[in-house]
Amino acid sequence: MTEVTTPTQLIDRFGRKVSYVRMSITDRCDFRCVYCMDEEMTFMPREQLLTLEEIVSLLTAFAELGVEKIRVTGGEPLVRRDVDWLFKELGELKQTTALKELTITTNGSQLPKYAEGLVQSGVDRINISLDSLKADKFKALTRTGSLDSVLAGIQAAKQAGFKRIKLNAVIMKGRNEDEIVDLAQFAIDNDLDISYIEEMPLGHVTHERGESYCSSDEVQSALAAAFDLKVSQANTGGPSRYYDVVGTGTKVGFISPHSHNFCESCNRVRVTTEGRLLLCLGQEHSVDLRAIMRRYPGDHTRLKQAIIESMDIKPKGHDFNVQEQPIIFRHMSVTGG
């Protein structure tokens, strides 16, 4: 098979090349994580969401414009009806476009059902959220989640044969900061990678973010006291800074929107569940791609031109401040976590 090489046509006014798209395919989820959603959520009417066919059309346009990595997110993407069809369609883009990597972020609860099919469809890597290894604490953090279901999902993912599996852990003081080392050890024992994420100030929450904020530097200090960490050369195309855990096959990553702003090298855009192209996670600069697709159905040229022109409004960076609550009122589940 001949690899398709298409130089990206998506370059913003700061010279940054956009090669990575995160697509939220649903705002719905079977969990209600405290940093992501309200306990009682009002979800979008289904007619406002992009159809699966519209998602395929949109992501095809991005891939034809040179995007090399697509991450499917939610909410929980695997609760979307007919999601297996979607991944089969997206997997085929690697044969005909610049797309090199198809990935997914999930809470893991649906993986016993879907993991094998995802691999067969061409999903390369998978990120699984895991914020606690203690059943009662996991329940408190997710409100409706079951630790056992996620652990079963992780095992299903391992058996399915993804190229790599990474855990994502949002660390919050007063919640789970005492499990930083335990989560890393779990990753090591299961030959997984893990990224620790600073809480994003999006949406309304019931806790004080300034009090729960745990910086990546604090997390790294806790890990360095327990493990030998060496700066890694790994680059997955995202914002994580990686370290190798010496003597293991595990990499530890840090996603630090507050303490180590990564905007200077940003290569990402996001598309929300209703088809709004967000040029920055922490700003409201956006383009309504759903409106274009529905006003001009089948006009692929017009859609691609709108995406190209959107690069002119991609901001230089975000301005997160954990002492302000909230910064952006849209929930992470709508944005594409």
Identify the CATH number of the domain defined by range 20-335: 3.20.20.70
Residue carrying the six token digits 């956009």? 18
Residue carrying the six token digits 């995007």? 67
Bridge-based pairing state of the strands 20-24 and 268-271: parallel
What is the model's pTM? Answer: 0.88
- Residue 96 confidence (pLDDT): 94
- 3-state secondary structure at position 214: coil
- Residue 252 confidence (pLDDT): 97
Q: In the predicted model, what is the mean pLDDT of residues 118-124?
A: 98
Q: pLDDT tens across 224-271, in order?
A: 999 999 999 887 766 778 999 999 999 999 987 765 565 777 888 999
pLDDT at 146 over 90: yes
CA dihedral 327, 263, 71, 100 (to 10 degrees): 170
- Residue 208 confidence (pLDDT): 54
Query: For residue 269, which of 257, 278, 261, 260 has the smallest C-alpha distance?
Result: 278
CA 196 to chain centre: 13
Contact between 323 and 210 (Cβ < 8 Å): yes
pLDDT at 4 over 70: no
CA-CA-CA-CA torsion sign (17, 22, 273, 132) = negative
DSSP bridge partners of 24: 73
Q: pLDDT tens across 26-43, in order?
A: 999 999 888 877 666 777
Helix (H) or strand (E) holding 286: strand 286-288
Helices (H), the chain: 52-64, 83-91, 93-96, 111-121, 135-142, 147-160, 180-189, 209-212, 216-224, 289-295, 300-310, 332-335
Domain boundaries, the chain: 20-335
Higher-confidence residue of 34 and 165: namely 165
Give residue 123's region: left, alpha or beta (phi > 0; psi -120 to 50).
Answer: beta
